[in-house]
Amino acid sequence: MRKLGKNGPEVSALGLGCMGMSYSYGPAGDKKEMISLLRTAVEQGVTFFDTAEVYGPFINEELLGEALAPLRKQVVIATKFGFRLDPKGGPKWIGLDSHPKHIKKVAEASLRRLRTDVIDLFYQHRVDPGIPMEDVAGAVKDLVSEGKVRYFGLSEASVKSIRQAHAVHPVTALQSEYSLWWREPEAEIIPAVEELGIGFVPYSPLGRGFLTGKINENTTFDANDFRVNLPRFTPEARKANQALVDLLTGIAIGKNATPAQIALAWLLAQKPWIVPIPGTKKLERFEENIGAVGVELTQADFREIEEASAKIKIRGGRYPENLQKMTGK
């Protein structure tokens, strides 16, 4: 278990990112199988679950609501606001919207879908340049005072935005991409959240599956898998980036572990208030991931990872330009 920031909830050291069960990574998982996986996760000690209204939209929250309702007191559920969805019911968001009225409307709808009377952690999914951060934090502060939200979070926010929000209402957690192949948060974000007592929740801690060693330059993706649009997942980039997987594989062999477990163990060792949220649709992958908690890396292992990874130039941007523009605001 870990405490998510200075004043946040205690959660399992690894959470479960649930987006891929319904959205973005090819066909949605079978509903019965996903419910079984979610409940198995609780049985095996995972208490922290991550979703968002935009995942589907809506169907991922509904899935968690159904699966976790009987176990609600045992779990911490995080969801997100901040996108404007197609009013015609289309499958995609059409812009950002963190207007206070919209935030409160989203909260009410998420509460219904999650079958709960309180959202444990409510993140702004992406910073909305059109709405002052003070207004966003004020809206969530109202929801906290009404007992509808317990904790406030931000996702992919800049240090400036984090400080602006935190001055109005305490930010409990920042969720941003962080892994051995995306280490940008180390420069400014991690020192800032440490100073402010904010927990850090790395999403895509396995590099959207690449750091598992199960993807190579010849892997083909489903047409509905959003990795087909990511510069880092072109065949040429995958071939170049294989060097990082080879590094993890070499360390894993010596520890009777897997590359994924080494990648997660490395993240867990960075700070005691970091809680990665790897996602999966497969029970065997879930069990592999939680096995990372038992993997111990030595100082020699850390030196080897630092020295070798410093020589590896990761090829390809993590997002196409239109999505990258929405991060770090």
CA-based radius of gyration for the chain: 19
Handedness of CA 229, 157, 80, 89 (dihedral sign): negative
Cα–Cα distance for residue pair 322/291, rounded to 1 Å: 36
Up-side HSE of residue 194: CA atoms within 13 Å toward CB? Answer: 11
Pairing of strands 93-96, 119-124: unpaired
Tokens at residue 320, please? 């196409």
From 23, 55, 178, 203, the catalytic residue: 55
Q: Active-site residue 55, yes or no?
A: yes
For residue 38, give Cα distances in angstroms to 46, 55, 72, 75, 128: 9, 16, 12, 11, 31
Tokens at residue 55, please? 């995942």
Amino acid at 276: P
Amino acid at 295: V
Distance of CA 135 to the CA centre of its chain: 24
8 Å CB contact between 5 and 197? yes
Residue 76: strand pairing partners: 48
Q: How far apart are the first and last CA of the chain?
A: 31
Cα–Cα distance for residue pair 329/320, rounded to 1 Å: 16
What is the SS3 assignment for 207? coil
Cα–Cα distance for residue pair 230/320, rounded to 1 Å: 6
8 Å CB contact between 163 and 134? no
Task: Name the DSSP letter for residue 14.
Answer: S
Cα–Cα distance for residue pair 125/12, rounded to 1 Å: 22
Q: Which residue in this structure is represented by tokens 């079958």?
A: 115
Q: List the catalytic residues.
A: 55
